[in-house]
Structure 1
Amino acid sequence: MSKASLIKPRERDVIMQALRAGVVPKLGLRHIQVGRAREVEELIKDVDRVADDGATIRFVIGDYGAGKTFFLNLIRLIALERRLVVMSADLAPSRRLHATDGQARSLFNELARNTSTRTKPEGGALTSIVERFVGDTLVQAKKEGTDIEDAIQQKLSRLRDLVSGFDFATVLTRYTKAYDAGDEEQKTAALRWLRAEYSTRTEARAALGVRDIIDDERVYDYLKLYGAFVRLAGYGGLLVLLDEMVNLYKLTSAQARNSNYEQLLRILNDVLQGGASGIGFLMGGTPEFLMDTRRGLYSYSALQSRLAENRFAQGGLVDLSGPVLRLQSLTPEDLYILLTNIRNVFAGGDPARHLVPDDALMAFMKHCSLKIGDAYFRTPRNTVTAFVNLLSVLEQNPGAQWQTLLDGVEVASATAEEAEGPDVPAAGSAQGVKGGDELTAFKL
């Protein structure tokens, strides 16, 4: 067996720990992805459209545990490989698209902190993006013998034409001067502003001399500015990933929900009408978030008309070109390949170290089907967790037989309450495995 087929121990451990905890691994998604080739191909087109100075928006819809987070992470990695910058965040009661008490600014702050590039895929890349832009500008200025401020102003001229672009350009100019002078205090102040950490205009004016801040009212405007800026910094464009959109559906105030839906409508219209460029939006939500006519997106008539399904896509026909992308359930073949992949990752990519034969995979699937029916195809999180726990027991107890252990495994059917659990739930034992936070359908 070639070394290329082996899986690095760190990658193997990250994948197994995440699967056992019921969450999506940050590394090694390629080792466990199965199926959904058409959906991935369609979103690769979206990524290329953004890189070609276009704009896209997609709502990825699936049940709890159906694969939204995994799917979003896979597209995120593809976007990074194609030199896009990715900003990602989960919506929460304290983070939403529109607010009047800092929740929208909090969402922007989370997006800024979770900014990733190919060289910094785990986030925290905002500083390196800014310094790449500044460094290239300073090199160009010194090479051409031009004044540093003139050079930076010329490069940022297109940003000043955008909404709120003047202050954005002013902050970048301040950072460039501080970078050239070695003024760490001014650099820190500029980065704080870019991360939406100033809560008052007075504080920002005292630190940087700017008139405005990134606040609740202009989150989308500043995302568009970031999309333009990262292209100036040499990247292909910006992809914004927003997961847990169901938290908008859960808002108890009808006014707050409608305000957020109005903001979504603004983004949707801007993208579809060609008002945005170099930016894409990928949002994950549940069917209720989309289709509930009392509290979901369909309760807002303008969104319902724009997000309605293609009536001709029936009887097995599909249309993947619209803004809504529904994640379908796993097939038995998909799940079998998934379990095969997990077995291989657990063995570090070495077939000689497989802990169970192919017969065990079939027996495990039959066991799950008898216990919870077809639910394990729709939301296989608990099934995956149980399988990883089974392999863990076999690894740590060499004398144990998988046939004996399988009789004692209980796989619970995932519920919405389980899916809404803590970010990193406790891993269950081989018996009585319970679900955790949203894992994935792994149908990718």
Structure 2
Amino acid sequence: MNTPDPERMAKSRLESINIINALRRGTVPAGGLERIAVGLDVEEGVIAKQLEYVEQGGGDLKFIRGEYGSGKTFLVARALEIARTRGFVTSHVVIAPSTPLHKLKGIYQQVCANLRTSGEEHAMKTIVDNWLFGIEERLLSVSGNGTEDAVLETATEREIETALSGISEMNSALAATLRTYYRANNTGDFTLAQAALGWISAEPNIGRELKQKAGIRGDIDDTIAFTFLRGLVSIIHAAGYRGLAIAIDEMETTQGLQRNQREKAYQTLVRIIDALDRGDMPRCYFLFTGTPALFEGSRGIRSLPPLYDRINVVQSDAFKNPRQPQIILSKFDTAKLELVALKVVDVYARAYTEPDRERISHRFIRAMIRKITTRFGGRVDIIPRIFLKEFVDILDKCELYENYNPHDTYDFDTEHIKGELKKEEEAVMVVTF
């Protein structure tokens, strides 16, 4: 008879609690998304195939298109989760006034700041350390364990230069700073080592001492950020990971920029697409998200024909083809939300105790959806975040109080959520007097 693995059960319960905690806060859970995903099997399969190609040395991308409430953020999170389970490092960048698409340095800085592996967030240091450790291990296996420290250091520094030779031809500062980081770690100068990592990550206000010791000038700017991103991917792969998957989210904010900035932003996308197609960015995968207006509006991608031609889709019938450059998401509907609710009940059972299925019945779930949807102009696609937050609250009360019956007591009141509504949610909320 097979007995459950206690460690696996504990891990599953921890993941379940994390999911429920995130839903209580109205956010997308950090892991376990496959347990609450619905209607995305085809899209996930396409992304998984792309990642398979990328991990074999290719480069690829996908644009995810959908209105608010279509699940773009969820699909992005799920795609990055799939990437991490396959051994990729991931990074999630949100386009905003502080990180506009036309500023490559800012994009690169956010990529570095948000590097994540399957076991660690903010993983830049771990990635670089694993890479350097791998170089040392390889040198020791060739020369024997009796190699003196000074000889090993010299040989490792040569390997750093060799590994980044292609990048150094265009800019030698990356290899120089990594050598400085390696030496600083070996001598116990951790302040200098941290400064070196900060400079590689394009952090502001890095001291003059690092630049003097590394023999470099200036900082990473828009002109070299793309080169440094290529170097980062090389380091990630050499450190034992499959590659780097980057999500560039909420690109629709680009439409609000001045014309010259918009054109520069869209030209950045052309540059990325062409670099991937030429094979200049192996083992790198990009996900971009935006609303339909970004793709079709007068201030969107259509305004730059070379970009529009590269990512436009052939759409002649109701059968969407997610293998094309864009994955076009449909709006969330009642059937999908019901399925998500039932999956959340299963997750809650693993996190805490089995909910009372009579009090949390399918009939009650449908009634609850109707109550919330009515207050938001009948828009099911707007309410998933709000519904799930309310739904977890009801699950909690059913567990805590035996005499709590949501059929009799639950009534959706918007007063307690008005301060936390997003602008899209506020725009369709029905005001009652």
Give the TM-score, by structure 1 length.
0.82
Mapping for residues 395-414 of structure 1, pairs under 5 Å = 395-406=399-410, 408-409=411-412
User: CA separation in 2, counterparts of 1:394 and 1:158?
Assistant: 59
Pick from 364, 381, 390: which aligns with 2:394? 390
Q: Which residue of 1 aligns with 2:331?
A: 329
Pick from 280, 286, 290: which aligns with 2:291? 286
User: CA separation in 2, counterparts of 1:117 and 1:262?
Assistant: 30
Larger helix proportion, structure 1 or 2? 2
Contact 2:348 2:354 in 1 (8 A): no
| Amino acid paired to 1:23 | T
- Stretches of structure 2 that go unaligned for 5 or more consecutive residues are none
3-state SS, counterpart of residue 289 of structure 2 = strand
User: CA separation in 1, counterparts of 2:386 and 2:199?
Assistant: 42
Q: Which residue of 2 aligns with 1:437?
A: none
3-state SS, counterpart of residue 92 of structure 1 = coil
Q: Kindly tell me: are residues 283 and 147 of structure 1, through their superposed partners in 2, closer, same or farther at Cα, counting changes over 3 Å? A: same
- Please identify, of 47-56 and 169-178, the stretch whose mean Cα deviation from structure 2 is larger: 169-178
Contact 1:149 1:173 in 2 (8 A): no
| Amino acid paired to 1:320 | P
Q: Which residue of 1 aligns with 2:125?
A: 127
3-state SS, counterpart of residue 89 of structure 1 = strand
| Amino acid paired to 1:109 | Q
User: CA separation in 2, counterparts of 1:126 and 1:351?
Assistant: 41
User: CA separation in 1, counterparts of 2:11 and 2:152?
Assistant: 51
Q: Which residue of 1 aligns with 2:308?
A: 304
2:148 is the counterpart of 1:148: no
2:229 is the counterpart of 1:223: yes
- Please identify, of 81-90 and 144-153, the stretch whose mean Cα deviation from structure 2 is larger: 144-153
Q: Give the superposed CA RMSD.
A: 3.3
Stretches of 4+ aligned residues off by more than 4 angstroms: 1-10, 198-204, 352-355, 366-374
3-state SS, counterpart of residue 289 of structure 1 = helix
Q: Which residue of 2 aligns with 1:238?
A: 244
User: CA separation in 2, counterparts of 1:181 and 1:200?
Assistant: 20
**Deviation at residue 366 of structure 1 after TM alignment:** 4.5
**Deviation at residue 128 of structure 1 after TM alignment:** 0.7
| Amino acid paired to 2:187 | A
2:121 is the counterpart of 1:115: no
2:333 is the counterpart of 1:343: no
User: CA separation in 1, counterparts of 2:430 and 2:9?
Assistant: 31
Contact 2:136 2:152 in 1 (8 A): no
Pick from 135, 138, 141: which aligns with 2:136? 138
Q: Kindly tell me: are residues 136 and 182 of structure 1, through their superposed partners in 2, closer, same or farther at Cα, counting changes over 3 Å? A: farther
Contact 1:68 1:284 in 2 (8 A): yes
Q: Kindly tell me: are residues 330 and 67 of structure 1, through their superposed partners in 2, closer, same or farther at Cα, counting changes over 3 Å? A: same
Contact 1:204 1:213 in 2 (8 A): no
Q: Kindly tell me: are residues 398 and 249 of structure 1, through their superposed partners in 2, closer, same or farther at Cα, counting changes over 3 Å? A: farther
Percent of pairs identical after alignment?
A: 24
Q: Kindly tell me: are residues 305 and 199 of structure 1, through their superposed partners in 2, closer, same or farther at Cα, counting changes over 3 Å? A: farther
User: CA separation in 2, counterparts of 1:7 and 1:340?
Assistant: 21
Q: Kindly tell me: are residues 277 and 80 of structure 1, through their superposed partners in 2, closer, same or farther at Cα, counting changes over 3 Å? A: same
Contact 2:192 2:210 in 1 (8 A): no
**Deviation at residue 131 of structure 1 after TM alignment:** 0.7
Contact 2:382 2:424 in 1 (8 A): no
